[in-house]
């Protein structure tokens, strides 16, 4: 199956062209059907492509030497949407020159440009940023919103649940993903009025492709007991960073403990297979690729500090969403919600 082209913002991220091109090349080696539109400085891209003939044969270059700064305000960046590599990558989706866009650049700018160019889907009030995180079970958990909206009312949360469930069905294969609202307790009386109202709407709705059963607390996010965790962007971003920080704390603590004495170093050698598995499981590069859900097109945000493997994973996520028609699935699910309300 030949997929639509994926537009790559080759200038975004901490290392820019090198990592983005090598990541795309790795993704291409793993999936020979991938086609690309590489957006950025042509000379730099051409130089990086010299070592990757397979990627070169599957790519077109769109020259652009203007780049969105990592700390640039979205309000300023959006005025240069027609001249920056990020803006041109997103615009390629709008114009049908690419099926999706991937960038490791400024998250706020990418959200603003994407929303302006692609607009939100019918039936969706606000887009949401969704990402996957590891769990104790085989499947990852989808969490949204992770920062696109600092506040969310009950209507927004219900829409986030629908979008998150559609995304989860693609990555887990579950027909009815287990969806929960993030709250300070699981009792029906806990949380804000918007949370309780959203829960009541989701429980009353019929025909939705999800299994909804109320609330989940933050300590259960990674236990493998839920497939989609729904919250506002303020709480979601705090929860995400707390989880990532804890993961780094654990790995740093283990590293310190295993190097504290000769006996500890011997113990490390014995337990190295297990610690390497833990390191792999917690490595954010293995779960790289956050998605802006609710837009008329697919836009994926890679970590700015992602490795080559991390970028390749973000590209693979993008391709999977295209292959499984994410936007059409969300449209159908939102329509089902409308029928349920009528």
The pLDDT tens digits of the residues spanning 192-209 come to 999 999 999 999 888 888
> Is the pLDDT assigned to residue 285 strictly greater than 80?
no
Tell me: do 288 and 189 sit in the same domain. Answer: yes
- What are residue 182's phi and psi, to 5 degrees? -70, 130
Helix %, strand %, coil % of the chain (to 5): 50, 15, 35
Q: What is the mean pLDDT of residues 115-137?
A: 90
Residue 200, CB-side half-sphere exposure with 13 Å CA sphere: 11
Same domain, 227 and 320: no
Which of 13-17, 262-266, 325-329 is the least confident region? 262-266
Same domain, 80 and 141: no
225 domain-assigned: yes
Average pLDDT, stretch 306-333?
Answer: 89
Of 2-6, 62-66, 150-154, 279-283, which range is least confident? Answer: 279-283
Confidence of residue 40 (pLDDT cuts 50, 70, 90): very high
Q: How far is Cα 10 from Cα 104, in angstroms, rounded to an integer?
A: 9
Number of domains present in the structure of the chain: 2
How high is the mean pLDDT of the chain?
A: 86
State yes or no: pLDDT of 278 exceeds 70: no
Residues 222 and 236 in one domain: yes
Are 247 and 168 part of one and the same domain?
yes
Over pLDDT 70: what percentage of the chain?
Answer: 89
pLDDT of residue 245: 81
Q: With pLDDT > 90 as the criterion, what percentage of the chain qualifies?
A: 46
pLDDT on residue 153? 95
Q: Which of 276, 293, 310 is the last residue of a domain?
A: 293
Both 307 and 289 in one domain: the answer is: no
pLDDT given at position 246: 78
Residue 337: inside a domain: no
Q: Is residue 86 part of a domain?
A: yes
pTM of the entire structure? 0.86
| 47 vs 61: CA distance, rounded Å | 12
Q: Which domain holds residue 190?
A: 125-293
Residue 338 lies in a domain: no
pLDDT at residue 329, as a whole number = 87
Going across the sheet that includes 290-293, the strands are 59-63, 36-40, 6-9, 100-103, 298-301, 290-293, 128-133, 141-144, 228-230, 178-182, 211-216
The answer on 191 and 135 residing in a single domain is yes
The CB-side HSE value for 122 (13 A sphere, CA atoms) comes to 9
Does 85 fall in a domain?
Answer: yes
Are 21 and 147 members of one domain? no
pLDDT at 171: 86
Residue 194 pLDDT: 94
What pLDDT does residue 206 have?
82
Whether residues 218 and 284 fall in one domain: yes
* pLDDT per position as a tens digit, 14-27: 888 999 999 999 99
The answer as to whether 330 is a domain residue is no
Render pLDDT for 72-119 as a digit per residue (tens, 0 to 9): 898 898 999 899 999 999 999 999 999 999 999 888 899 999 999 999
pLDDT of residue 198: 95
In this predicted model, which residue has the larger pLDDT, 60 or 224?
60
The answer to whether position 17 is within a domain reads: yes
**Residue 106 belongs to a domain with what CATH number?**
3.40.718.10
Regarding whether 241 and 160 lie in a shared domain, the answer is yes
Whether residue 258 is contained in a domain is answered as yes
Residues 91 and 218 in one domain: no
Tell me, yes or no, whether 69 and 130 share the same domain: no
């Amino acid at each position: 199956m030949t997929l639509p082209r994926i537009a790559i913002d080759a200038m975004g991220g901490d290392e820019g062209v090198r990592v983005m091109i090598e990541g795309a090349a790795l993704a291409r080696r793993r999936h020979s059907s991938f086609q690309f539109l590489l957006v950025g400085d042509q000379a730099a891209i051409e130089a990086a492509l010299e070592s990757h003939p397979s990627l070169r044969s599957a790519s077109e270059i769109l020259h652009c030497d203007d780049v969105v700064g990592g700390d640039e305000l979205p309000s300023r960046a959006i005025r240069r949407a027609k001249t920056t590599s990020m803006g041109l990558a997103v615009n390629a989706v709008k114009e049908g020159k690419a099926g999706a866009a991937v960038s490791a650049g400024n998250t706020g700018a990418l959200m603003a440009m994407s929303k302006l160019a692609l607009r939100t889907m019918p039936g969706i009030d606000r887009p949401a940023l969704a990402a996957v995180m590891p769990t104790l079970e085989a499947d990852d958990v989808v969490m949204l919103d992770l920062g696109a909206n600092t506040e969310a009312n009950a209507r927004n949360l219900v829409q986030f649940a629908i979008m998150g469930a559609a995304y989860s069905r693609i990555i887990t294969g579950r027909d009815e993903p287990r969806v929960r609202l993030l709250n300070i307790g699981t009792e029906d009386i806990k949380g804000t009025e918007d949370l309780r109202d959203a829960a009541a709407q989701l429980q009353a709705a019929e025909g939705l492709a999800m299994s909804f059963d109320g609330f989940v607390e933050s300590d259960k996010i990674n236990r493998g007991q839920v497939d989609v965790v729904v919250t506002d962007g303020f709480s979601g971003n705090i929860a995400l960073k707390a989880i990532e920080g804890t993961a780094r704390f654990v790995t740093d603590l283990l590293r310190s403990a295993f190097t504290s004495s000769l006996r500890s170093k011997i113990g490390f050698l014995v337990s190295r297979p297990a610690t390497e598995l833990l390191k792999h499981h917690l490595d954010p590069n293995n779960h790289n690729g956050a998605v802006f859900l609710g837009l008329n097109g697919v836009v994926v945000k890679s970590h700015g500090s992602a490795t080559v493997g991390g970028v390749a994973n973000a590209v693979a996520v993008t391709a999977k969403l295209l292959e499984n028609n994410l936007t059409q699935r969300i449209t159908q699910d939102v329509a089902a919600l409308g029928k349920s309300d009528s």
